[in-house]
Each structure stands twice: as structure tokens, then as C-alpha cells.
Amino acid sequence: MSRRPKDPLLVDVEGHAECLLGNEAIVRGALEAGLAFASGYPGTPSSEISDSFARLAGSAKLVFEYSINEKIALETAFGASLAGARAMCAMKHLGLMYAGDPLSTIPYIGPVGGLVIVSAGDPSCRTSPNEQDQRLLAPMLHIPVLDPSTPEEAYRMAIFAFDLSEQSRLPVLLRPTTRVCHSRAVIRYGRLRSPVVTGFVRDPLRFVPIPANARRLRIELGKKVETARRLIESSAFVSATGGGELAILASGAPAATCADLLEELNLTDKLRLVTLGAVYPLPEEKLLALLDGVRRVLVVEELSPFVEDALGALLKHRGLSLELLGKRSGHLPVEFEYTPEIIQRAIQTGLGLGREVPKQPSFQLAPARPPSLCPGCPHRPAQFALRAVFGDEGLYFNDIGCYTLGYGPPLNTADALLSMGAAFTLAAGVARVTGRRTVGIMGDSTFFHSGMPALLEAVRQDADIVAVVLDNHVTGMTGFQESPTVERIGDEFRRNVTISSVAKVLGASHVETVDPYDLPATIAAFERARAAQGVSVVVCERTCPVHLARETKAPRPTTVYQVDPLRCRICSREECGMRCGQEVDLGFESFMARGRVLEIDKSAGNLPGQAPCSLSCPLGLCIQGYIGHIASGNYQAALEEIVRRVPLPESVCRVCHRPCEAACVRTAVDEPLAVNDLKRFVVDWAAKNMPAYDPERDDPCGMRVAIVGAGPSGLAAAHDLCLRGYAVTLYDAEEKPGGILRYGIPGYRLPGQALDRDIDRIINLGVRFEGNRRMGRDFSCASLLEQGFQAVYLALGAGHGLPLEIEGAGAAGNPEMVDALDFLRQIESRSVPSRVVVVGGGNAAMDAARSARRLGAGKVVVAYRRDRDEMPAIADEIDASLSEGVELATRLVPVRLEPGRLVCLRTEPGETDASGRRRPVPIEGSEIELPADLVIAAIGQRPEFEEPGFDQTPGGLVQVENIFLQTSNERVFAGGDLVPGERTVTSAVACGQRAGWAIDRRLRGEQIADRRPPPPPPGDGRRWTRPGIDRADHLPRVRPEELAGEKRLEGFDEVVSVLSEGQARAEASRCLSCGTCGNCRACLDLFGCPAFFEKDGLAAIDPGLCNGCGVCAELCPNGAIHSVVAPGMEPGS
């Protein structure tokens, strides 16, 4: 049976050599001194001390604990000391301050068994928020301090310190710095000594420092310090080499550097090097003896001029003169670690010895390689989720641990940091004076160290904070020391304390625990926390994967993740040539990533494609794009996307029929996004903030195009052709351009000023507008072509109402009958009687009805032959008209006019007709009389177009080929309401753009025309489904203010107002970002997992670094990341 090799620190052979770290050497020294108890709290650069004790405790018959914090570590060690056990307590410099209270009283009481406190210093703040010279505590608290310069010296000091402590009855501070802690040197062993515990012997006059006892103990302190001084004077830790009148007095790590430097500079014999290892109490006699004959001394020590000042005071007190150089004389810096160069320079300038430090040539700067959270670290998704919820406006208070690496991009979750546990207290302090809800972030070990009282205080004060505890079951940053939450017993992990229970016991009522790998759940928990008041506690719990791998010895994941280069940065509108190529900012990427995370049930395999809203949009807008920019506060980018595709933004954002909203997937959750209101917000912002419209235009091509009809379609075509470099003449029968936008849609829907802004923008491109020119009367297609126009676009619209042919029309004494379009055209100059009936169910009917109300009609009834839900008018228009007092009478068909009334018959649904609706069948004998003095007919519209040579439908519409809008005359194109198809403003605008492209294609060929592609024919976005989406949080749709009921009828002022900025951003964040994006770098910009890199402009993952956590796949907006078997893990490999 082979014996397990002994731990190198436990070899009990005199003279055995090991190459030990300074920290390990200290442990060895303590064991050789018969250490019985050790405690500590991890803290760089001291952690290896406690780690070694932890490893050895069983074999070395040592009682050891990783204490919850340094105060407890010190107090417990002192308890052991009072019971006659030699005790050691280890921590970093900050920890000593934490243990300050007991530290200040221990010297009064004094140890029984020797007590050695090791507090490691960190000059240059390599791993700390400050550097401190703990030696300065010595005179304040009457504690001897040993300052080792090498690992070997630290070993001998550890042994000596216990005797020093017991004989002087004072605790001893052993203070190595990073250079000593983390350097290795050959240590030759002595023999181990078994620990001895003499037991607790009562001594209340000494052990209980009530004030009377304390005062007596205070007087004894002086003698104790003198005892320590004598022991130090006779120790080996004050020594000198060399000789002469010039000297260096050095303590700590710099003493070793000096020794090496003097050898290299051949100065070992030319001056005296006095090494002071025990710096308090100062061994005055020995020191002065060693400096006898010296006329100038350079004091070399790091941090404060502690020894320098003590020597200066000593010299003054003794009346000795000796030139003293050091920090006070400016020869050495006060801050940071001393490199050999710094000391060499001081020797040369202060002592005139040695040589100048050669000037460093300048070198190419190597890019920084800062530490980062490991791949798969749960702190990354936790802090990503925090940022996704609280955004740029959040105030994040961070703490000490691995998660501190959330500072800076990409996670940006540290606005301030102070000390262990201060995340909650800082957060509370800020919250209490500003009234803002703040966020505090700390780890599990930190929570137990000092976060608990902070949480208790926050609860007591009902502070408005979100207290986040990142529980990864280990103290990771300092080297995976155990944490109170989970303990390893043999091969099992056992839970000890759950943080959520502690939080509840401390009085927090809103406490949740989530798994940070479950990003949607984590985001949802933070959203609930953000919405709450008072203290909310969210515990993000998942074992550190590195710790888990180390413990379970299963280092390689079997599944890793991969980026599909065909989906990464792919624009779903690439094929129609509409990739925007815009730069996106972090807010936009966060918006997309968040939307993707919230898509519930990604397992259903429903990958993002083209968003249903964009799919439905006749103009092919990237709606997700501009909504994302609004969410991110980048209104200019939103405007760019809108203006790119919408030549009449003011009009469209008011009167569009919004197929996008009908297709929005949020309809399954709460309400669709207010897409058009958001568009209006941007357009309104632009009108106030943006300079004049100056789009990129092609050079003039010398060709001319005539457009007949200055309605939405004609205007859009004019705009498009101008950008393409054509000279455009725009004709219209009316005096001003606008078509149905001006003469059909009333001002309360589309104010004249807004329309004029749209039209001026287009005319100012150089369009020649000729009003009062009617096709047929003033010109014809043929005449236009003869005049030299290379092409003609017909956009006359369908501006004539279908006549209502019923009995009694036009007869004297009967109610006036007027066509709705004529009525609307005459709005400004006409009056209405008090009783009006509007026949019809489309937008023209609604416009007429609502206008009639504004003109003073007391009773306006809309009579429609089918049911309400079959009315073709925009639903919001119907709602608005009803709220304005219009009455709706359904299932009525007019039959004749009689004095003062319109007689109708009731109908019932019959067979289904071509439109898919059931034909209304009049019911014999069911006559109804509607009182009326004016009847407005809004039963349909048709064009008036009588040019010869064109194929037309029976209804007068001009037949065109779908894609190229070409009529039967190859140089004449037509679109909008003039041709068969959807009768909406937006699709008319789309037609105009398509016509511009088609004409350009015809005249200059594909290559040139396709540089400005037309909007794609819209698909039916309503067929899009999103499984499981009904589990998303319900958020109501934000609605803009509207004019109050009574005010509306006072005139034709615009009814619907614009969203405020706050409303717009809130509404924009409801968007789930359903489509893919070609501009995304969310994984690199927001997540920052070090397994990611960029390759050929796309994201990629190094399978050797990937941990397989899969969180990146949750947030990739394009769904481009998926799991694969890790290389080398395939079955059979």
C-alpha cells in the first residue's frame, strides 16, 4: 500500500528544502512554532495563508476556519489565544481595518497563547481600492510590527513572532507585502512542533477591560512595548552589511531589492545596508549602533515615511546629526511599489553612487489585456439582465468580488464602489436623498461578510433599493474559498444557508431567487423589482462553473455553442435590397437583445425572420428599426429610417391604416404597438429639431416625366423620380397639390399645415407643379408624350363618388343629397342642417359624419347596410365618430327620399359575395324612417378617366401589370386608387415609389434603377405566430392625448396629439424585436463573453473557450447561436 505523499508544508525533517511562496513560508513558520488555531478571510495577496491552513488543518491537528469576516477571524483567534493556544489570523490590509475594533483592545488585554496577525499589504493597489501602510497603526495601537523583505525572512519572523507575542503580552503584526507574499524562495525547514493548548485560566481584571481595568491596563502598555523593544533589539531582524559613511536604511520588500541592486552595482562594500525587519517598537539602540559613523543615510521603504520619520525623531531627540534622505527630501516617491530603477535613481541622486538608470527607449504599446469574467460566468447574464432592465438611467452600486468586473463596457454595472458590503449602503444613501430607486450588487461571500447588516438597515429605513445578491456558492475572486451557502462534504455539495431565507428573516418582504442562466426569468424578476417600492431582494443563484469543474473534475463541457454565419448580421430585407446598413448604438442593441430574450418558448424553433409588421407594411419600413432607435433615444436614426421609405411622413403618420399594428404579435399578449403614434413622435421631433430635408440625389439625367394627379401616389412618384435625377412636372385638376390628402381627409385628422410641410418638402426638390389642369380638358396622355415627356405616371385617384340612385333624389322638398367627396371638398364653405344622414361605411363616410358634426349638425346618423365589424373604415375612425356623437345604424339600406327623411329597409345577411362577406338582403316591409335634411352618399368611389387606348375594368379602373405598373401603353404607368388594388393612402404612396422605380427601369435599365429598389409587395403579417408569447408580461399600450369630447366639435383642430418623449420610449420598449437585423453586434457589445471574437465581420465563438452555458443563444437577436457537440466529444471520439 503506497503512502500518500506528504504535503510539502508538513515534511518534518530538519534542513529539508522547499521552494515556497512567502505566504507558505509564513504558514511553515507558524507550524514550527506549534500553532494551534488559525483563521482568516480571503484577500489578495494573503489568501494562500488561509488556503494552506485549510488544506493542512486535518493532518496538522490544527483548528482552522475561514471566518465570515476579518473581525470575526481576529476575535475568534484571540479567543483561542486567551485559552492558551498559539493563534494566527490572516487577511489583507483592508481586512485589518475591518477588524479595527478588536484590534484596538487586544493589546490592552494581551494574548495568552502567542497571537500573530498577518496582514498583507498591497502597494500600487494591484488588487485593492487603496494602498495602506499598516505600520502606522503600530504606535497608535501599541502593536509590534515585523516587516519581512524576503520569503525566508517571513518564515523566520513567523516563528519569532509567537515568542515575541507571548513574552511582551502583545499581539504581533506580521506585515508582508505582495512582492514577499507572492515570491518563492528556498526555505530550509526546522522541526514541527505539536500544538499545545494550556486552557482558559480566569483573569477578569485583565480579560475584562471595563474602564477601570482599561485605565490600569493602559499604564501597563508602556512596559509591554519596552519588553517588545528589548526582544527586537536582540533579534536577528536588525542587521547590517558593508561599511562606510554612506548608508541605506531599508525595510520591507525594498530591502531585498537594495541588496540585489548593490551587488549588481558593485556597491556592497562601498556603503552600509541596514535592514530593519522589525519596525515597531523601533530598536533604537541597535539601530543607532549600526549607523555609527554614517554621515548620510537614505531611508528606503514603501508607502509612508514611517521608519524615516521615526529615525528623524530619534536623531532629534538624541541630539544627533545625520543627514537623512528619503521621501521627505524628495529622493523617493511616497506612493506605490519601488522597482529597482526607482531605488537606483535615489542611490545615484542622493548618495552619488552607482550609475544613472539608462533612459528607456519607447516601445510599441501592447493593447491592454484586462481580466474579464470567465466564459459561462453567471455574473455576466445577471448583470446583463440588470442593465437590460434598468438601462442607462439606472444607478448601480457594485461591491468587491469577481462581479466587480461588471465595471466598464460591456456590462457597465458599476457607478460606485467602496468596501465589502457597501453596495447596499451606498445604494440606500443615494436613494434616501434623491428619491431615486437604486441598485446594489454583491456576491454571497460578501453578503455574509457585511451585507447582512446593510440589508437590515435598508429594510428598517424602507430604502428604495433593489438588493441583488449574486450567489455562485463560492468566494471566487480570491481563489475559490468556501462560502457559507454551499459546503462540500466528501463528494457531496450540501446547502448551508440560503440567502433568500436570511433576507426574509431580516425583514425583506419582496425576495426572489432566480437562475441567471435563465435570462428571461432573470429579466422578469428585475422588472418586478424595478416596479416595486422599498427594498426588493433578488438572489441570482448558480454555482460558479470554474469552481464546479475544479471540484467535480469534469472540466470539458460536452456541448458548446456556435454562431451560424448565415444568420449572424443578416438583414431580413436583404433580398429586396433594403438593408439599411445603419450604425446602431448600444441602446438599440440592448432593445433587440431584450426583445429576443423575452420571446418566450424559443424551443418551438420559431427563429426570427422578417418581422410581421415590416412584412405587412406597404412601404417596406423596417419598423423594428425605427422603434429600436426610439427606445434607445436616438431619434435622428429613427428619422433616417422613416424618411428613407416614407416621402410623406406627416400624412402617413396620421392617416395610415396601420396593417403593421394588426400584424403585431403583441396582440396575443396585450395590445399591438402604437407603431404609427411612434412614427408621428419622430416626425414631430424632426419638425422641431432637424434642419431642412436634403436627401442624397442622383445627378440630373436630362429626362422628363409627367405625373398626373398630385395626391399621395403622384406626390410619392414625384419625390422618387426627383431623387433619381428626373425633371418632374406634376399636374392636378385642383388648385393646390394634395389630392385626397387635402380635399378628402379633414383637418382634424390631417392638419393643413402638416400636409403643407410634406408637400413643400417634395415640391422644393424642384418639382414643377401645375394646378387647375384637368386631364381630358387641358391635355391628354398623347399630348404629354408628344411634348417630350419620356414617361407618364397616371395617379388621378378615384375621386368621384358612386351616385346613390334612389327614388326622390333631387325632388323639391326632399332632403339635399350630396356625394361625400364633394361634401368634403367643400367643407370650408358649406353649412349643414341639423339632421344629417350619411350612407356608407368607409373612411369617406366617417370623414363626412365627423365633419358634419363639427359644422353644427345636431344629429348625424351613419346608415350602413351590413354589420359594424364589416365596415371597411379604420376601426379607430368608427370609435372616434361614435365618441363625437355620431350614431351608427347598421343593417339599413336606403330606398327613397321623402320630405324631411330618408326611408330605409332593414337587411339581413344573405349569401357570401366576392368580397367574402355575406350579401345584405333587404327585408320586405321593414321600412324605417331616418329623419334627415341632408343625405351624404359615401357608398363608393370611382375614377374619372376617359383617355382612349387603355384597358379598364367595368368600374373604370385602369388595368396595370402588378410589378411594373405598366398600362397597355408602354410609356404610361398608373397606380394608386386609379388601379385595382388596396384603396389606402399608404399603398398609394407605395405605388408611387414603385412607379418611380419602374419608369427608371424602363428608361435607364435595371442596373441603375435597382440602386433604389421599390418597396416589396407586402405579405400578410397576421399569419405570423409566436408560440408561448402569451406568457409575456402584460403592459398596456401607451396612448397619446386626444382633444376632449366637447372641444373637438368646436372646430377642425387636430384630435389626436403626439406622444411625449417618455411615452414614446416606454411604448417603444414594448416591441419584441421580432425580425433579424444586419447591424447587430449585441453579443460582442453587450455581453462580452471572452469566448467570442470577430471573424470576417461576423461574430464567432472559440469552442475551446466556450463553457456551454448557452446564455448567448438566449439573447442573439437573430437567433444565430445554437448548440453543437463539443469538438472531441462526439460519440466514438
Q: Which residues bind another protein (CB under 8 A)?
A: 17-19, 21, 44-45, 126-127, 149-150, 178-179, 182-186, 253, 255-257, 259-260, 263-264, 339-341, 344, 358, 360-361, 363-364, 366-374, 402, 405, 409-410, 477-478, 546, 1081, 1084-1085, 1088-1090, 1092-1094, 1104
Considering beta carbons, is residue 549 or 1008 the nearer one to another protein? 549
| One-character DSSP codes across 443-467 | EHHHIIIIIHHHHHHHHHTT--EEE
The distance of closest approach from Cβ of residue 624 to another protein in the complex, given in angstroms and rounded to an integer, is 23
**Residue 626 CB neighbours (<10 A):** 28
Reading across the β-sheet that carries 791-794, which strands appear in turn?
Answer: 768-770, 727-731, 704-708, 791-794, 972-974
The distance of closest approach from Cβ of residue 254 to another protein in the complex, given in angstroms and rounded to an integer, is 8
- Is the alpha carbon torsion for 399, 404, 407, 410 positive or negative? negative
The distance of closest approach from Cβ of residue 407 to another protein in the complex, given in angstroms and rounded to an integer, is 12
Burial of 929 (0-12, 13-18, 19+ CB in 10 A): exposed
The distance of closest approach from Cβ of residue 1115 to another protein in the complex, given in angstroms and rounded to an integer, is 15
| One-character DSSP codes across 372-388 | -PPTT-THHHHHHHHHH
The distance of closest approach from Cβ of residue 160 to another protein in the complex, given in angstroms and rounded to an integer, is 19
The distance of closest approach from Cβ of residue 397 to another protein in the complex, given in angstroms and rounded to an integer, is 21
575 phi, psi to nearest 5 deg = -65, -30
Considering beta carbons, is residue 264 or 970 the nearer one to another protein? 264
Considering beta carbons, is residue 358 or 1132 the nearer one to another protein? 358
**Contact indicator for 98, 69 with CB cutoff of 8 Å:** yes
Query: What long-range pairs does 215-223 form, CB within 8 A, spacing at least 24?
Result: 217/108, 217/109, 217/110, 218/108, 221/107, 221/108, 221/142
Considering beta carbons, is residue 400 or 427 the nearer one to another protein? 400
Residue type, 678: L
The distance of closest approach from Cβ of residue 161 to another protein in the complex, given in angstroms and rounded to an integer, is 21
The distance of closest approach from Cβ of residue 799 to another protein in the complex, given in angstroms and rounded to an integer, is 55
Q: Which residues make Cβ contacts (< 8 Å) with residue 867, sequence separation at least 6?
A: 890, 891, 909
Q: Where are the alpha helices (DSSP H) in 737-891?
A: 740-743, 752-763, 781-787, 820-825, 843-854, 875-883
The distance of closest approach from Cβ of residue 581 to another protein in the complex, given in angstroms and rounded to an integer, is 16
Considering beta carbons, is residue 583 or 696 the nearer one to another protein? 583
Considering beta carbons, is residue 48 or 233 the nearer one to another protein? 48
* Alpha-carbon gap, residue 1116 to 979, rounded angstroms: 43
The distance of closest approach from Cβ of residue 126 to another protein in the complex, given in angstroms and rounded to an integer, is 6
802 phi, psi to nearest 5 deg = -70, 135
Considering beta carbons, is residue 203 or 341 the nearer one to another protein? 341
* Alpha-carbon gap, residue 109 to 106, rounded angstroms: 5
Beta bridge partners of 930: 902
Considering beta carbons, is residue 252 or 842 the nearer one to another protein? 252
**Contact indicator for 723, 999 with CB cutoff of 8 Å:** no
Cell of 575: 433580398
**Contact indicator for 1083, 1068 with CB cutoff of 8 Å:** no
* Alpha-carbon gap, residue 601 to 607, rounded angstroms: 11
Residue type, 346: A
Considering beta carbons, is residue 204 or 581 the nearer one to another protein? 581
**Contact indicator for 442, 421 with CB cutoff of 8 Å:** yes
* Alpha-carbon gap, residue 1100 to 580, rounded angstroms: 23
The distance of closest approach from Cβ of residue 186 to another protein in the complex, given in angstroms and rounded to an integer, is 5
The distance of closest approach from Cβ of residue 1062 to another protein in the complex, given in angstroms and rounded to an integer, is 31
H or E element in which residue 314 lies: helix 306-318
Q: Where are the alpha helices (DSSP H) in 580-621?
A: 586-598, 612-616
Beta bridge partners of 707: 730, 793
238 phi, psi to nearest 5 deg = -130, 110
The distance of closest approach from Cβ of residue 621 to another protein in the complex, given in angstroms and rounded to an integer, is 28
Give the DSSP letter of residue 1036. P
**Residue 140 CB neighbours (<10 A):** 8
**Contact indicator for 856, 832 with CB cutoff of 8 Å:** yes
Considering beta carbons, is residue 32 or 152 the nearer one to another protein? 152
Which has the closest alpha carbon to 249: 280, 285, 279, 281?
279
Considering beta carbons, is residue 406 or 1075 the nearer one to another protein? 406
The distance of closest approach from Cβ of residue 587 to another protein in the complex, given in angstroms and rounded to an integer, is 16
Considering beta carbons, is residue 281 or 1088 the nearer one to another protein? 1088
Beta bridge partners of 904: 894, 928
Considering beta carbons, is residue 187 or 643 the nearer one to another protein? 187
The distance of closest approach from Cβ of residue 30 to another protein in the complex, given in angstroms and rounded to an integer, is 22
Considering beta carbons, is residue 357 or 1124 the nearer one to another protein? 357
**Residue 889 CB neighbours (<10 A):** 14
The distance of closest approach from Cβ of residue 252 to another protein in the complex, given in angstroms and rounded to an integer, is 11
Angle at the Cα of 550 from the Cα atoms of 544 and 553, rounded to 5 degrees: 125
Beta bridge partners of 469: 442, 539
- Is the alpha carbon torsion for 718, 723, 724, 725 positive or negative? positive
The distance of closest approach from Cβ of residue 333 to another protein in the complex, given in angstroms and rounded to an integer, is 16
Considering beta carbons, is residue 403 or 743 the nearer one to another protein? 403
Considering beta carbons, is residue 182 or 1012 the nearer one to another protein? 182
The distance of closest approach from Cβ of residue 313 to another protein in the complex, given in angstroms and rounded to an integer, is 29
Considering beta carbons, is residue 6 or 768 the nearer one to another protein? 6
* Alpha-carbon gap, residue 714 to 722, rounded angstroms: 12
Considering beta carbons, is residue 180 or 459 the nearer one to another protein? 180
